[in-house]
Amino acid sequence: MGGVREQFGSGPPRVVLIIALSLGVLLAAGVATLGVLSGGTGEHARPDAGAAADTTADRSGPLALPPVKAPEANSAECTTVLGALPDELRVDGSAVPRRELAVPKPAGTVAWGDAEHDPVSLRCGLTAPAELKPTSELMVISGVSWLPISSGETTTWLAVDRPVYVAVTGSNDTGIGPVQDVSRILDQHLPEREVFD
């Protein structure tokens, strides 16, 4: 009978294999960490989700909002909501004025913001996002059920229990003051409905 070398052939020493495997694992962990820290922009990055791509970088001049599917943007419900929105919105205890939108302005949209506050946008009449499922965790704010959808440095709050979907998008630093203000308007002007029929 032969020794261990005869049974397993003549390969690299065990220590070399352990070092090579360890380096591979460390490399994979490093790449994964970089992906998490950079926010990941590959094919698995979450899509727009109805408004999360709204920009928060520019605080002056007309705000450009990318187009999204909003088939109910010109509905009577959206007209009512848009007409009831205030000229100013509360952000961190400050009254933030309406912000001009760049042309072409998507239907059913309004924004607020100034030199000291990132923009907050509202879109009415959106389609239901893929994130809305029977198992989604909803938050009730001032009588309205909202689905929060975070993407990088922004969060979109989607009102899901009204006849039309309404989204409020702002930076993560904005807080929920704007969502509370919009909730009161939705609660006053649009009837509540079941989230899932």
Beta-carbon contacts of 142 under 8 Å, excluding residues fewer than 6 positions away, are 180, 183, 184, 187
Residue 197's pLDDT is 75
Of the options 3.40.50, 2.60.120, 1.10.10, 3.40.1000, the CATH number for the domain spanning 76-189: 3.40.1000
- Total-model pTM: 0.71
Residue 21's pLDDT is 39
- Tokens at residue 177, please? 């003051």
Residue 163 in contact with residue 174, Cβ under 8 Å? no
Beta-carbon contacts of 72 under 8 Å, excluding residues fewer than 6 positions away, are 78, 108, 124, 125, 126, 164, 165
- Range name among 26-35, 57-66, 79-88, 108-117 with the lowest pLDDT average: 26-35
Ranges of each domain in the chain: 4-38, 76-189
What residue type is assigned to position 11 of the chain?
Answer: G
DSSP state, 23? H
